[in-house]
Homo-oligomer: A and B are copies of this chain.
């Protein structure tokens, strides 16, 4: 059971680490913010064990970050991601809900919920 729980946490961590390090730095503005959110979600959804994913780019931070050239760079403080992964082993299932969000000057990744069920 220990391995099952660790694996569920592990899989959630992979997804959040991946999103942050793949997409930070891309050019963004109000013109493409929605397609970027959907594109990132599509990448996470392809990966194993993902049941749900929600990506939100903070419009307020985006607005303040747009330069005189009319767009911004996707920054750590703009990105909010929530993912639910589900891992199964024989009769037991472990679901982990995890989140990435900007809290006190840091792109914090944390577990919101760890649920075991048969």
Contact = CB atoms under 8 A, between A and B. Distances in A.
A15 B27 CA distance: 11
Contact of A6 (B6, B14, B23, B48): B6
Interface string A73-98: 10110000000000000000010101
B96 A71 contact: no
Contact of A26 (B43, B71, B109): B43
Size class of the A contact interface (CB-based, 8 Å): 35 or more
A12 B5 CA distance: 13
B109 A10 contact: yes
Interface string A91-118: 0001010100000111101010010100
A-B pairs, top 9 by smallest CB distance, nearest first, are: A13-B13, A17-B17, A9-B9, A6-B9, A32-B42, A24-B25, A39-B39, A9-B10, A21-B22
Interface of A: 2-3, 5-29, 31-32, 35-36, 38-39, 42-48, 67-71, 73, 75-76, 94, 96, 98, 104-107, 109, 111, 114, 116
